[in-house]
Amino acid sequence: MQNLLDFDAAQLTAWFAARGEKPFRATQVLRWLHRFGAADFADMSDLAKTLRAKLTAEACVTPPPLISDRASGDGTRKFLFDVGGGNAVETVFIPETARGTLCVSTQAGCALECSFCSTGRQGFNRNLTTAEIIGQLWQANKALGRDPKGERVISNVVLMGMGEPLANFDNTVAALTLMLDDNAYGLSRRRVTVSTSGIIPAMDALSDACPVALAVSLHAPNDRLRDELVPINKKYPLKELMAACLRYLDKAPRDFVTFEYVLIDGINDHEHDARELLALTRRVPCKFNIIPFNPFPGSPYRRARSDRIRRFADVLMQAGVVTTTRKTRGDDIFAACGQLAGQIHDKTQRSARATRAFMLEEQRPCFNPRP
């Protein structure tokens, strides 16, 4: 059985052509699948009965099964999806006044082992399929429904959940292509963001295959510190990464790169780090997104103090660079950046125990206050 959620428009058209079906039939099916969220070929009323029967015999529409759907006190929703083999991935919806952002995962686990990231600590399991990546959007659209005007509530997508999107390049690009396709989700390129730890050849390839907004996880102003926090830096060091950002901007839909910087107490949160960061990024049109470190069970670091977070952001802003400090959202349901874990079955009990132990320690000053 072919899962049709695994195909972007070109791939679906080719699959139809191999069965003697015209391209416009593929477009009709694409619309049913993604615009209307249909899962049953019997509902696709404008298709010939023979085609519906053929599809029922040869194909299926299978998004990853939803295991849980939890709402946080601040309106954030966290979905957990089963991706088989005892693994689960998380998807987070963050409502804001003028937009609704879905944070999507691209891998079960991550091989890049950034020392401050819960997903990296859990190791790599496997790449998600296109159906599992786009299926998170498909399922979330269904769960979230429409606003009073009949519009979908998800206006933005960020590939900032579990995993490194550019290490799962082909499936990520197919999913991105569907997000942008007017017959599918019709999102603007500027409202779809890939976040990467900086896999340079794949950044170049993305700018050709599917240029969307780009966020680059920096977290350190020099190679010595970044080698420690983001080990892929040893392969793709900062000077080359800055050059790659400039190349990307030639083809990007936005005229800036967003640099993400997780602020960790005593590690990368000094004023001199902020000044070195400004020098490093001097030639790249950019914005900074400061993310106060979110602790997780067993994490070796503490969140930077709120006065240091403010000071760090001030130094960047005084230099004239737009800087936002990310509000921690959804941390009462462990849905904040870098807290996504997503293991199920027997592993869950272990992590639930660790989580409980951790929550008991929640009163420690490093967890609060929030910025």
Contacts of 136 (CB under 8 A, 6+ apart): 63, 64, 79, 81, 89, 91, 102, 104, 105, 161
3-state SS class at 289: strand
Q: What backbone phi and psi angles, to 5 degrees, belong to 172?
A: -65, -45
The answer to whether residue 160 forms part of the interface with ligand SAH (CB under 6 A) is: yes
Position 154, amino acid:
I
Please state the closest distance from residue 164 (CB atom) to ligand SF4, in A: 4
Judged by beta carbon, residue 89 or residue 117, the one nearer ligand SF4 is 117
Q: Does 89 bind ligand SAH (CB under 6 A)?
A: no
If binding is defined by CB under 6 A, does position 110 make contact with ligand SF4? Answer: yes
Region near ligand SAH per CB under 6 A, out of 51-59, 130-138, 177-185, 193-201: 193-201
Tell me whether residue 217 or residue 268 sits nearer to ligand SAH (CB atom): 217
> Residue 3 carries which side chain, given as an amino acid letter?
N
Question: Is residue 337 flagged as an active site residue?
Answer: yes
Least Å distance, CB 339 to ligand SAH, is 6
Q: How far is the CB of 28 from ligand SAH (least distance, A)?
A: 35
Binds ligand SAH (CB under 6 A): choice among 16, 79, 81, 116: 116
Rounded-to-integer distance, Cα 82 and Cα 86, Å: 8
Closest to ligand SF4 by CB, 105 or 139: 105
Sheet holding 286-292, edge to edge: 66-71, 77-82, 88-95, 100-103, 156-159, 192-196, 213-217, 257-263, 286-292, 323-325
Residues in the chain: 371
Residue closer to ligand SAH (CB basis): 130 or 195: 195
Closest CB to ligand SF4: residue number: 120
DSSP state of 128: P
- The residues annotated with a catalytic role in the active site are 90, 337
The site for ligand SAH (CB under 6 A) is made up of 116-117, 160, 164, 195-197, 217, 260, 262, 291, 293-294, 296, 337-338
